[in-house]
């Protein structure tokens, strides 16, 4: 089988760890954007993937009018458009694209129409009628809802969203993402590598430094935890990630007077993430819902749970569905609620141990790579 994966600019090691386990070892070609975001992933994660790669460019990068398109993008907000590549999808047995509204999906639909290649569509979005700012996007969504052979969803929220938007229930397949439970597994702490001491109570955040990820209210919860009540252990916050909000976060830390309690570890290679999870007493995903976005899954949650790290998540988007009863939940954008949850973990070795065991079990029961790859293999075989 020949599989075309249309990835956009988010190709990461998680993709090839799951897809290289597909039954029958299909020949996979990854169509991905030549972009600054993708280059950062490549520089950070130097693991070798057994796939072919096909670069895709935008009209702001190539073509006779690229300079004009780039000016329009900068000064008028015009979205860059993918240069047509449907012709390159001829000869594949299955195409997989992402989201209803993207230019990638438009090219996949065109290839399906012209060459008869079955189309599966991976949908993370979970807000009905979202991403419809332009007529172009709305038109792509209408065609995708009509012409996609299978919709792949990772949460019940995404399934319900598709039904509301008009997708046939029989074409929607639930495939929970999986984590490599050999790589992400309990093990010795490596706190010294992050400048942390064994006696510290370590809170861990991993993700983009964007307002919607909720790091700002985690900092407020940190200050509450540090300044209110007596603490038996020094409290530290380990932050892994990057993004345009780094300066804002540093300013907030200084204003709150908690700089001595905060450690920036930068962006870690994927294979180093288990060491960070094993070094924590509480992993926190404090995402905030906005009108255009709410947490779509939270891969870091299942990675943390697989390593035996107790987790706290906000009641936002898919987080409660992923955590289940294997972690604590707090109100989104509520630093008091989050601080109270952190204090429960700080003050109870028993609770931390129970959540550590429950989290690992939940991942083994629901979110393994083998489960993910077996479900995808069956889907591809059905539509090819």
Output the pLDDT for position 79: 65
Q: What are phi and psi of 32, to 5 degrees?
A: -135, 160
111 and 244 housed in the same domain: no
Q: Kindly report the number of other CB atoms within 10 A of residue 47's CB atom.
A: 11
Do 111 and 11 belong to one domain?
A: yes
> Is 310 a domain residue?
yes
* CA pair distance 317, 268, nearest whole angstrom: 26
What is the CA angle 283-287-289, rounded to 5? 160
Q: What is the model's pLDDT at position 33? A: 84
Tokens representing 235 are: 């409290």
Q: Write the CATH number for 169.
A: 3.40.50.2000
Same domain (yes/no): 377, 339:
no
- Residue-level pLDDT at 63: 56
User: What is the number of alpha carbons within 13 Å of residue 372 lying toward its C-beta?
Assistant: 22
pLDDT, tens digit (0-9, with 9 covering 90-100), for 18-65: 898 999 999 999 998 875 544 554 544 555 667 888 988 876 655 555
Query: Which residue stretches of the chain have pLDDT < 70?
Result: 10, 35-49, 59-79
Which structural domain, as residue segments, surrounds residue 273? 191-366
Residues 114 and 213 in one domain: no
For 54, which DSSP code? E
For residues 134 and 197, membership in a common domain is answered with no
Question: From the CA atom positions of the chain, what is the Rg in Å?
Answer: 22
- Is 379 in the same domain as 340? no
Confidence at residue 232, expressed as pLDDT on a 0 to 100 scale = 83
**In a shared domain, residues 98 and 227:** no
3-state DSSP of 284-346: EECCCCCCCCCCCCCHHHHHHHHCCCCEEEECCCCHHHHHCCCCEEECCCCHHHHHHHHHHHH
pLDDT of residue 122: 97
Determine the Cα–Cα distance for residues 92 and 112; give it in Å rounded to an integer: 10
- Residue matched to tokens 């790091």: 215
The DSSP code sequence of 216-232 is HHHHHHHHHHHHSS--S
> What are 87-136's pLDDT values in tens digits?
999 999 999 999 999 999 999 999 999 999 999 999 999 999 999 999 99
Q: What is the pLDDT of residue 381?
A: 97
pLDDT value at residue 244: 87
Question: Distance between CA 309 and CA 24 in Å, rounded?
Answer: 34
Q: What is the pLDDT of residue 76?
A: 46
Q: Domain check: are 358 and 373 in the same one?
A: no
């Amino acid at each position: 089988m020949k599989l075309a994966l249309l990835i956009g600019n988010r190709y990461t090691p998680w993709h090839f760890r799951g897809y290289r386990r597909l039954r029958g070892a299909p020949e996979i070609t990854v169509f991905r954007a030549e972009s600054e975001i993708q280059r950062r992933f490549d520089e950070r994660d130097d693991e070798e993937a057994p796939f072919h790669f096909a670069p895709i460019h935008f009209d702001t990068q190539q073509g006779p009018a690229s300079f004009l398109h780039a000016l329009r993008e900068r000064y008028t907000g015009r979205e860059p458009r993918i240069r047509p590549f449907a012709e390159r999808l001829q000869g594949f047995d299955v195409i997989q694209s992402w989201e209803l509204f993207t230019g990638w999906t438009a090219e996949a639909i065109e290839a399906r129409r012209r060459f008869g290649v079955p189309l599966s569509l991976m949908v993370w979005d979970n807000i009905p009628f979202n991403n419809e700012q332009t007529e172009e996007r709305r038109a792509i969504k209408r065609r995708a809802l009509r012409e996609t052979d299978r919709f792949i969803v990772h949460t019940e929220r995404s399934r319900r969203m598709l039904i509301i938007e008009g997708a046939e229930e029989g074409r929607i397949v639930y495939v929970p993402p999986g984590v490599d439970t050999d790589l992400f597994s309990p093990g010795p702490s490596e706190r010294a590598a992050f400048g942390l001491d064994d006696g510290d109570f370590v809170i861990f955040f991993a993700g983009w430094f964007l307002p919607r990820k909720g790091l700002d209210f985690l900092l407020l919860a940190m200050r509450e935890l540090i300044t209110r009540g007596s603490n038996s252990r020094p409290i530290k916050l380990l932050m892994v990630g990057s993004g345009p909000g780094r300066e804002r976060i540093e300013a907030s830390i200084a204003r709150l007077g908690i700089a001595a309690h905060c450690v920036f570890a930068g962006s870690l290679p994927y294979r180093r993430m288990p060491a960070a999870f094993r070094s924590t007493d509480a992993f926190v995903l404090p995402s905030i819902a906005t009108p255009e976005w709410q947490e779509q899954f939270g891969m870091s949650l299942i990675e943390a749970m697989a390593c035996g790290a107790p987790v706290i998540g906000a009641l936002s988007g898919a987080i409660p569905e992923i955590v289940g009863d294997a972690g604590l939940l707090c109100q989104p954008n509520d630093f008091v609620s989050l601080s109270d949850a952190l204090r429960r973990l700080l003050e109870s070795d028993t609770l931390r141990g129970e959540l550590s065991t429950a989290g690992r079990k939940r991942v083994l029961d629901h979110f393994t790579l083998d489960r993910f790859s077996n479900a995808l293999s069956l889907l591809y075989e059905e539509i090819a």
